[in-house]
Amino acid sequence: MKQKRTLASKDFIPQEVIESKILLIRGYKVMIDRDLAALYQVRTSHLTRQVRRNIDRFPNDFMLQLTKKEFENLKCQFGTSSWGGTRKLPYAFTENGVAMLSSVLNSKTAIRVNIQIMRAFTRIREFLSTHKELADRLKGLEQKIGKHEVAIQAIFKAIQQLTKRPMSDIILNVAVGHFLQIIEQHEAENDFKAAARITEVLLERFRREKNIKGILQFGKKLLDYFEEKKQTTKAIKLRNALVEELLEIDVDSTHKFVLDSLEKLVSSESYLNAANLCGLLLDHYLSDEENVETLKYVIQLGRTQVEFYKNARLPSVMEENALRYARYAVKQLSKIADTPQKAAYQEEIGYLLDQAFESQEERKVHFELLESLENLLNLLQEVNDKQTYLKYVDQLLISLETQDKKEKALEVTVESTTFLLDSAVIT
């Protein structure tokens, strides 16, 4: 008796992974070419090339190409950086289109994976069919748009009753697709106020549920509205609040959100706002002194923030923060073994310190400069960083001699000599 053939373990993909890739675009439940290629274990270029060679098999109800706006919405929902250097507008395949793909790709993996994908589409269809109330509420939202807040809250209530838990990826993707259609309809009619209000209501709902996909999708959309309408104060307040909330949910997603936001702020020369946004993320990393992995983020963001403060012409604030990050980095670096990466970190720390000290010299705040150098040298003694100590003790001695503080210079010379002799580094 023949053994029943099963899906090869190497091709098996958890059902929830497939379901999370099914989106609602233009009323169709679809999957994006890039996601399909990953599931089929082929390059996206290979998949699209095979489709073009068999284009007569893919009519409009089998495949559609995303518009620029649809692609931007997609990137907002799943994170800009996750799309890498994608430039071409992606293709989306409906259930029929996905079924056709396995025939043009002509691989066993594609056939096996397609069986799972078809089951995922069927499960979603059965879910929406079984819970007709949810489908009807989503579909009827356009007719209720005059009372959009009430309609949206009713839909969320229905979702909660049906799932009895936070929204799954299936429901989230379907619901988000419907909501975006309504918002875009208002934008097309130049009714941006209504579009913004709907977005705001949706965002608040996702924030209460701590749903990171919903927060990012509609948070970015509302920020775009505030910035387009020059409502800078509202944009700053919302962005900072979102960062603080997102940090409690997922640090990596927050980091990407901050980097995306920095690009926009820099393009509009909002350097102070950009620096403050860096500060929110930096404060989070600085609070985790036990995690050495945060060092690279502190150094990268610290350097970025220093440049923002310089452009904003706030030297004293720049100096204070540069020294703060440098001190943190010195402590963390003392826990790491000697490697090329450690040497690179030391150079970055040197950059932060030099920026602060050079700025203090330019501003001729000699007392602050001496105090900063002394505090640094005390820290370097604590962590036994002799190499960095040698560099900055010389700078302190030069500063003391310039200010004719001979007694203090002698005291520092004796102290530094004792430290270096004890450490056996004098040659």
**335 and 258 in a common domain:** yes
**112 and 28 in a common domain:** yes
**320 and 286 in a common domain:** yes
- State mean pLDDT over 85-97: 82
The answer to whether the beta carbons of residues 162 and 133 sit under 8 Å apart is yes
Those residues whose C-beta lies under 8 Å from the C-beta of residue 122, and which sit 6 or more positions away, are none
And the tokens for 275?
A: 């620096």
* 298 pLDDT tier (thresholds 50, 70, 90): very high
d(CA 312, CA 272): 6
**322 and 369 in a common domain:** no
- Chain length of the chain: 427
Last residue of a domain, one of 97, 129, 161: 129
- State mean pLDDT over 86-101: 86
Beta bridge partners of 65: 91
Local structure of 269: helix, strand or coil:
coil
The predicted pLDDT at position 148 comes to 52
Pick the residue with more confidence: 410 or 181? 410
The predicted pLDDT at position 77 comes to 58
**25 and 119 in a common domain:** yes
pTM above 0.85?
no
Q: In this model, does residue 241 exceed pLDDT 90?
A: yes
Last residue of a domain, one of 349, 381, 410: 349
**424 and 320 in a common domain:** no
- Residue 158 in domain: no
The predicted pLDDT at position 58 comes to 93
The answer to whether the beta carbons of residues 37 and 117 sit under 8 Å apart is no
Q: In this model, does residue 352 exceed pLDDT 90?
A: yes
Beta bridge partners of 91: 65
Summarize pLDDT for 101-159 with one digit per residue, the tens: 888 887 788 888 888 888 888 877 766 565 555 555 545 544 444 445 555 555 555 54
- Residue 309 in domain: yes
d(CA 45, CA 37): 9
Name which of 11-15, 81-85, 90-94, 261-265 the model is least confident about.
81-85
Strand pairing class (91-94; 63-65): antiparallel
Number of domains in the chain: 3
Last residue of a domain, one of 108, 129, 150: 129
The distance of Cα 134 from the centroid of its chain, to the nearest Å, equals 31
Axis-axis angle for helices 315-333, 295-311 (nearest 10):
170
Q: Residue 129, Cβ neighbours under 10 Å: how many?
A: 9
Closest Cα partner for 171 from 183, 188, 158? Answer: 158
Q: In this model, does residue 321 exceed pLDDT 90?
A: yes
Q: Residue 2, Cβ neighbours under 10 Å: how many?
A: 4
Cβ-count burial 376-391 (b if 16+ within 10 Å, e if not): bbebbbeeebeebbee
- State mean pLDDT over 247-276: 91
- Residue 195 in domain: no
**120 and 43 in a common domain:** yes
* 337 pLDDT tier (thresholds 50, 70, 90): confident
**309 and 381 in a common domain:** no
- Residue 330 in domain: yes
d(CA 259, CA 257): 6
- Residue 409 in domain: yes
Q: In this model, does residue 426 exceed pLDDT 70?
A: no
The predicted pLDDT at position 78 comes to 58
Q: Hunting for tokens 């990171």 — which residue is that?
A: 212
d(CA 159, CA 205): 12
- Residue 7 in domain: no
The answer to whether the beta carbons of residues 196 and 225 sit under 8 Å apart is yes
Q: Hunting for tokens 């010389």 — which residue is that?
A: 394
Name which of 147-161, 168-182, 241-255, 318-332 the model is least confident about.
147-161
Indicate which CATH number applies to the domain containing 52.
3.10.260
DSSP structure string for 35-63: HHHHHHTS-HHHHHHHHHHTGGG--TTTE
- Cα dihedral 340, 342, 346, 352, rounded to 10, equals 120
Q: Which helix (H) or strand (E) holds 270?
A: none
Those residues whose C-beta lies under 8 Å from the C-beta of residue 281, and which sit 6 or more positions away, are 243, 247, 254, 255, 258, 297, 301
List strands edge to edge, sheet with 63-65. 23-25, 28-32, 91-94, 63-65
- Residue 162 in domain: no
Those residues whose C-beta lies under 8 Å from the C-beta of residue 15, and which sit 6 or more positions away, are 116, 119, 120, 123
Beta bridge partners of 63: 93
Local structure of 289: helix, strand or coil:
coil
Summarize pLDDT for 212-236 with one digit per residue, the tens: 888 888 898 899 889 888 888 999 9
And the tokens for 183?
A: 């918002």
* 26 pLDDT tier (thresholds 50, 70, 90): confident
Domain boundaries, position 383:
365-427
Highest mean pLDDT range out of 65-79, 143-157, 354-368? 354-368
- Residue 156 in domain: no
The predicted pLDDT at position 9 comes to 46
Burial of 159 (0-12, 13-18, 19+ CB in 10 A): buried
- State mean pLDDT over 359-382: 89
Summarize pLDDT for 193-208 with one digit per residue, the tens: 777 877 887 788 788 8
Q: In this model, does residue 4 exceed pLDDT 90?
A: no
And the tokens for 245?
A: 């909330």
Q: In this model, does residue 168 exceed pLDDT 70?
A: no
